[in-house]
Amino acid sequence: MAPPPVIDPRIPRAIAGDRGAAESLVLELMPRVRNLVRYLVRGDSEVDDLAQEALIALLKGLSGFRGEGSLKSWADKVVVRETLGRIKKRRQERSRFEIRTELTAVSDARADVYLARRAAVQALDILPDEQREAIVLHHALELSIPEVAELLGASPDTIKSRIRLGMQKLRLPETV
């Protein structure tokens, strides 16, 4: 018989309403959540709002965490579902205009990491949303093709095609 899963002691305390435990979990997960949201959305303007909504969803859904896997893996799935759902809803509500991106100031100590991530997300910005989402879920989160297909509501063959086409676009230099 397998031993029961070991659950971070902050989780039951946060579920019970302990603000300190909830704050500690949020502070730990916030950079990961924000990066994942940024990989999924085009431009920077919505990232903070979507990350905040994802963190709220994580706290509200914390009682659903069974401890069978890591908290980070569970959180990634919640964030992906929440973010994609919000993106879909906003696309339906939004009229046709582009949102301008704003660069965020960062400290010199983290500039290289920041610039590398900026370059990655700018490269992802050229992709259609379906290809971008499939690539991020498969390569950044290391989800299997069937897991990506389930999350995005598409067949595994469609997901493979989206990833292949997106990766081809990322590899080819842009011609004018």
pLDDT of residue 106: 40
pLDDT of residue 172: 57
d(CA 167, CA 132): 9
Q: Identify whether residues 11 and 65 lie together within a single domain.
A: yes
Q: Identify whether residues 26 and 68 lie together within a single domain.
A: yes
Q: Identify whether residues 26 and 63 lie together within a single domain.
A: yes
CATH number of the domain bearing residue 78:
1.10.1740.10
d(CA 111, CA 108): 5
DSSP code, position 126: T
Q: Identify whether residues 120 and 66 lie together within a single domain.
A: no
d(CA 46, CA 41): 8
Number of domains in the chain: 2
Instruction: Please tell me the pTM assigned to this model.
Output: 0.61
Q: Identify whether residues 167 and 125 lie together within a single domain.
A: yes
Q: What backbone torsions phi and psi does residue 144 show, to the nearest 5 degrees?
A: -70, 165
- Contacts of residue 69, Cβ cutoff 8 Å, sequence gap at least 6: none
The rounded average pLDDT for each run of 10 residues, N- to C-terminus, in the chain (176 residues) is: 72 91 93 92 85 93 86 92 86 49 41 70 86 90 92 94 91 53
CATH number of the domain bearing residue 174:
1.10.10.10
Range of the domain at 82: 1-99
Residue 97, token pair as written in the block: 């205009």
Q: Identify whether residues 55 and 94 lie together within a single domain.
A: yes
